[in-house]
Chains A and B, each alone.
Chain A
Amino acid sequence: MTTKRLIVGAHYGLGSWLAQRVTAIVMTIYTIVLLGWLFALPELTYGTWAGMFASSWMKVLTLLMLASLFWHAWVGVRNIFMDYIKPTGLRLFLQASTIVALVGYAAWAVIILWSV
C-alpha cells in the first residue's frame, strides 16, 4: 500500500547537512596541512610567513578553505537563529546581517590574500 503523504519543510535540510560535512572536511585537511607546514618552518619571520602565501596555489587553497568556512558559518549561525530567535522580523534582520558580513569577509579575504 502506498500512501501519498504531504511532506512539509523547506527542502534544504539535506543539502545543508551535506554542505556542513564537506566544508568541515575541507577545513580539517587545510588545518592539518598548515600546522604541519608551520612546525616545519625553521623560524617564523615575515619572509617565511609571507613567502608561504606568495604562490598562487596557496592563495587559491586558502581561499577555498575560507569559502568553506564562510559557508559552514552560514549554516551553523542560521541554525542557531532558527532555534532561538522566534520573532520573524528580528530573525530576518539577523540572517540578512550574517549574509552581508560573510560576503564582506569573503571580499576582504580576497584583498588580503592577493596583497602579498
Chain B
Amino acid sequence: MADAVEKPAGAARPEFRNIHVTELFGYRWPLAALVSGMHRISGALLFLIGLPFLLYLLQQSLLSEISFENYRSIVSHWFAKLVLLALAWAYLHHFCAGIRHLFLDLDIGTDKPKSRTSAAVVLAISLTLTLLVAAKIFGVF
C-alpha cells in the first residue's frame, strides 16, 4: 500500500479492458475460452455469409420447379459445398455452445472442472456432427 501512497495524484493507473484482437494469441486458451471464442466467430460467420446465402438458397428452392433445379445445381458445386460445410459447422457449434450457455444460466455446471467438461462435450458433439454433414455433402452416404 505504501507504493500507492507515494504515487503522485493522477498517475496512470493500469486499465483492464477488452484485449485487442492482436493480443489474443499471447494468452492460454482453456477449452471453455476456446468454445466461447468460437461461439463468437461462428456467430459472425452465420450473420455475414449464412444469412444472405441461405435466404438466397431458400428463395431458389421455393420459387418454382425451375428455380428448384437452379438451387440443386448451385449446391452441387464444390465451392458451394465447402461454404455450406463451413456454415454447418458454424451452426452446429453455435447451437451446442448456446445450449451450454443456457445450462450455465441455470447455474448448472458453473464450476471449473464441470465447465471444462461441458466445453469438451460441445466440441466433441459439434465436430462429430460436422464430420457427418461433410460425409453427407460429399456423398459418402
Contacts and interface: CB of A to CB of B under 8 A. Distances in A.
Q: How large is the interface on B (under 10, 10 to 19, 20 to 34, 35 or more residues)?
A: 20 to 34
A55 interface: no
Given A105-B55, A112-B58, A77 B44 contact: yes
Interface in A78-107: 80, 83-84, 101, 105
B74 to A, nearest CB: 14
A112 B47 CA distance: 18
28 contacts: A21-B102, A24-B102, A28-B95, A28-B99, A46-B61, A46-B64, A46-B65, A49-B61, A50-B61, A53-B62, A69-B51, A73-B43, A73-B51, A76-B47, A77-B47, A80-B44, A84-B18, A84-B21, A101-B51, A105-B51, A105-B52, A108-B59, A109-B55, A112-B59, A112-B63, A113-B62, A115-B59, A115-B63
Interface of B: 18, 21, 40, 43-44, 46-47, 51-52, 55, 58-59, 61-65, 68, 95, 98-99, 102, 105
Interface of A: 21, 24-25, 28, 31, 46, 49-50, 53, 69, 73, 76-77, 80, 83-84, 101, 105, 108-109, 111-113, 115-116
